[in-house]
């Protein structure tokens, strides 16, 4: 929930991202008749335009140009039918899920969107099987059956109450079989979709979206066009917002810029702040000579000072995180704090000595230079300062832009690397399942049979998510013991917008993906 009410340039922004209730705009009326497109800035540029290749924030764009069977209308915390007219489990074991499509659906090229297109879209994800791609979300899917032009059945190989949430992720975007090959990724830098907008042009710096007049779905668009501009850093993005080159800035706002906007006392900008489930963490490569040693990982866990990172680097716009499952979700624990307590060089030295490891330990930490905001570099410099300062480590820092960074960790090149995670859906399952198994979102196999074969299947058999706490607590216990993943902080959500813009507080779905159709300009005060 929003935990503060701020007077920002005389604009009060009070809202809740978790419940996405309506707010702001009480002094104005909205209109879709605008002089030009709404311009949104972000630091999260897509890594691909093909849904079969992406398990990252490319979804930010996908949500607005492709369509899924289910989606999230404003105010919803559970998925509702979008391309589908209705969906439901048709058995009592959560193993048979059936959807019926809306009548008359078409892609932007005029081709019909039918049940065969849905099957094609889901099947190609698994057939292409991109390393670190979304095929890992479909582990419970046995096969897809087409009944007729509008009806389709998903047969699962195990009970999975989270399957509707999976279908609502932009990874499950429906694509035209005539334009998207069944056995390889589409290479063209264009999109054939059926979403609320069509992609009229795209390059690495900008995506231009135009309202799709043939869209049939649950989303109501409050504008006719949106331009998304991709920035390398927060200061440049916020500068563009202040210069009125942007209407909205989201994803990648640096702490310094957030604090500066909060301190402003005129009436040109509004800042919407809400709780979030974004997390940031380190990944250890088990094949690396040093990062593969449990004692090295545990010593790092013992040295890292999360509150210092949150305060010094992020100016308390994030909070320390001691579990892969963030606060606010059923099943959250504080396992890393329970085991390691306050940072201690003495305890870390004892861990390494007992394992016979000579210090200082040489390690290279990798981070992406353009994905999670400009504070990432400062965060890793602080991590280096802490680890080197213990005298137990000699840390080298290296970075790459996101597109080449992904290839590096998928090929096992990095000993230790940083990742952020924006949830696919708001359930503890989505903070554990994507990171384990032979194929996962990290491109680094992490085989944990207890989790993948027992705990996750047990939890997915429960439609009532209040009954899954013990399973997720046990799964987190395993993650803490292994220290293959080291959670660092949990973020809040911030959207900065011109005071002339309405809808920013309604524009984030439960996985904090921006639905740009909610944005509009105020026509009166």
**DSSP secondary structure letters along 91-108:** SSSS-EEEEEEPTT-B-T
Lowest mean pLDDT among 28-37, 102-111, 387-396, 467-476: 28-37
CA dihedral 173, 178, 180, 186 (to 10 degrees): -140
Alpha-carbon span 68 to 172, nearest angstrom: 6
Task: State how far the Cα of 443 lies from the Cα of 445, in Å rounded to an integer.
Answer: 6
pLDDT at 459 (0 to 100)? 92
Cis, bond preceding 72 (omega within 30 deg of 0): no
Strand pairing class (520-522; 141-146): unpaired
Residues 59/515, Cβ–Cβ less than 8 Å: no
Helix axes 294-303, 345-354, angle to 10 degrees: 170
What average pLDDT does the chain have? 89
Q: Are strands 485-498 and 269-284 parallel, antiparallel or unpaired?
A: antiparallel
Q: How far is it, in rounded angstroms, from Cα 349 to Cα 392?
A: 7
Average pLDDT over residues 2-7: 31
Exposed / middle / buried, residue 232 (Cβ in 10 Å: 0-12, 13-18, 19+): middle
Question: Higher model confidence: residue 418 or residue 47?
Answer: 418
Identify the pLDDT of residue 12. 33
How confident is residue 30, by pLDDT bands cut at 50, 70 and 90? Answer: very low
Q: With pLDDT > 90 as the criterion, what percentage of the chain qualifies?
A: 69
For residue 374, pLDDT beyond 80: no
What are 405-440's pLDDT values in tens digits? Answer: 988 998 899 999 999 998 888 889 999 999 999 878
What is the β-pairing status of strands 501-502 and 520-522? antiparallel
Percent pLDDT > 70 in the chain is 92
Instruction: Give the alpha-carbon dihedral of 443, 419, 46, 15, to 10 degrees.
Output: 130
Question: Quick check: pTM over 0.85?
Answer: no
HEC per residue, 17-49 = CCCCCCCCCCCCCEECCCCCCEEEEECCCCCCC
C-alpha distances in angstroms, 287 versus 290, 390, 415, 437?
9, 25, 8, 16
Query: Using 50, 70 and 90 to split pLDDT, how confident is the model at 19?
Result: very low
Candidates 471, 486, 470, 455; CA nearest to 339 is 486
- pLDDT tens profile 105-127: 999 999 999 999 999 999 999 99
pLDDT number for residue 201: 94
Closest C-alpha to 283, from 56, 486, 491: 486
Mean pLDDT of 373-381: 90
Among 164-168, 187-191, 207-211, 338-342, the range scoring the smallest mean pLDDT is: 187-191
CA 72 to chain centre: 15
> Can you tell me the distance from the alpha carbon of 98 to that of 88, in angstroms, rounded to the nearest whole number?
6
Structure confidence at residue 35 (pLDDT) = 66
pLDDT, position 7: 31
For range 208-218, the mean pLDDT: 95
pLDDT score of 419: 95
Query: In a 3-state reduction of DSSP, which class is residue 197?
Result: strand
> How far is the CA of 128 from the CAs of 115, 134, 136, 183, in angstroms?
20, 10, 12, 5
* Statement: residue 503 has pLDDT above 80: yes
- pLDDT of residue 32 exceeding 70, the answer is no
As beta bridge partners, residue 514 has: 508
Q: CA–CA separation, 515 vs 513, rounded Å? A: 6
- Quick one: pLDDT at residue 203? 87
pLDDT digits (tens, 9 = 90+) for 234-293: 999 999 999 999 999 988 888 999 999 988 876 889 998 877 889 999 999 999 999 999
For residues 389-403, b (16+ Cβ closer than 10 Å) or e, as one string? ebebbebeeebbebe
Q: Confidence band (pLDDT; 50, 70, 90) for 371? A: confident
pLDDT at 17: 35
- Look at residue 482 and tell me whether its pLDDT is greater than 80: yes
**Nearest Cα to 302, choosing from 453, 486, 48?**
486
pLDDT tens digit sequence for 297-318: 999 999 999 999 999 999 999 9
Closest CA to 486 of 387, 354, 349: 387
> Taking a C-beta distance cutoff of 8 angstroms, is the pair 65, 209 a contact?
yes
- 144-181 pLDDT, tens digit each: 999 999 999 999 999 999 999 999 999 999 999 999 99
Nearest in space to 318 (alpha carbons), one of 266, 371, 376, 395: 376
Q: How many residues does the chain have?
A: 525
Q: Is 112 within 8 Å of 105 (Cβ atoms)?
A: yes
**pLDDT for res 6:** 33
CB neighbour list of residue 310: distance below 8 Å, 6 or more residues apart: 316, 318, 319, 320, 489
When pLDDT is averaged across residues 375-380 and rounded to a whole number, the result is 94
CB 429 within 8 A of CB 268: no
What is the pLDDT averaged over residues 178-197?
93
Task: Please report which residue ranges of 26-174 form alpha helices under DSSP H.
Answer: 59-65, 115-128, 163-167
């Amino acid at each position: 929930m929003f935990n503060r009410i701020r007077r920002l340039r005389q604009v009060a922004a009070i809202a809740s991202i978790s419940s996405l209730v309506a707010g702001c705009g009480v002094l104005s009326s909205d209109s879709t008749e605008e002089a030009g497109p709404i311009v949104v800035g972000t630091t999260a540029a897509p890594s691909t335009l093909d849904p079969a290749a992406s398990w990252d924030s490319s979804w930010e764009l996908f949500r607005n140009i492709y369509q899924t069977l289910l989606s999230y209308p404003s105010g919803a915390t559970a998925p509702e039918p979008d391309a589908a007219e209705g969906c439901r489990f048709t058995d009592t074991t959560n193993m048979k899920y059936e959807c019926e499509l809306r009548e008359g659906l078409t892609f932007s090229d005029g081709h019909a969107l039918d049940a065969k297109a849905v099957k094609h879209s889901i099947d190609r994800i698994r057939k292409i099987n991109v390393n670190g791609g979304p095929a890992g979300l479909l582990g419970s899917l046995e096969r897809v059956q087409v009944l007729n032009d509008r009806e389709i059945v998903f047969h699962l190989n195990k009970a999975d109450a989270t399957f509707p949430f999976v279908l609502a992720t932009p990874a499950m975007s429906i694509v035209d079989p005539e334009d998207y090959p069944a056995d390889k990724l589409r290479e063209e830098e264009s999109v054939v979709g059926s979403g609320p907008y069509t992609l009229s042009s795209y390059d690495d710096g900008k995506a231009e979206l135009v309202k799709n007049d043939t869209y049939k779905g649950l989303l109501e668009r409050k504008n006719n066009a949106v331009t998304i501009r991709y920035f390398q850093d927060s200061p440049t993005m916020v500068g563009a917002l202040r210069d009125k080159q942007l209407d909205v800035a989201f994803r990648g706002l640096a702490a310094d810029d957030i604090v500066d906007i909060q301190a402003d006392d005129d009436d040109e900008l509004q800042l919407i702040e809400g709780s979030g489930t974004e997390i940031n963490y380190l990944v250890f490569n088990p094949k690396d000579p040093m990062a593969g040693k449990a004692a090295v990982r545990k010593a790092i866990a013992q040295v890292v000072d999360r509150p210092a990172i949150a305060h010094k680097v992020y100016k308390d716009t994030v909070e320390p995180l001691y579990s892969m499952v963030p606060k606010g979700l059923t099943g959250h624990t504080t396992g890393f704090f329970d085991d390691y307590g306050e940072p201690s060089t003495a305890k870390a030295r004892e861990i390494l000595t007992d394992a016979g490891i000579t210090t200082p330990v040489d390690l290279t930490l990798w981070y992406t230079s353009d994905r999670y905001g400009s504070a990432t570099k400062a965060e890793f410099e602080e991590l280096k300062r802490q680890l080197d300062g213990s005298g137990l480590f000699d840390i080298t820092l290296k970075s790459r832009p996101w597109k080449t960074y992904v290839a590096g960790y998928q090929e096992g090149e990095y000993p230790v690397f940083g990742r952020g995670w924006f949830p696919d859906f708001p359930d503890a399952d989505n903070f554990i399942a994507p990171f384990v198994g032979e194929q996962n979102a990290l491109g680094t196999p992490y085989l944990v049979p207890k989790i993948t074969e027992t705990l996750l299947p047990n939890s997915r058999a429960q439609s009532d998510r209040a009954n899954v706490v013990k399973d997720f607590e046990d799964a987190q216990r395993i993650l803490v013991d292994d220290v293959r993943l080291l959670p660092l902080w949990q973020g809040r959500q911030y959207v900065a917008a011109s005071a002339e813009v309405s809808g920013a507080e309604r524009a984030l779905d439960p996985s904090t993906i921006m639905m740009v159709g909610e944005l509009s300009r105020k026509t009166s005060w």
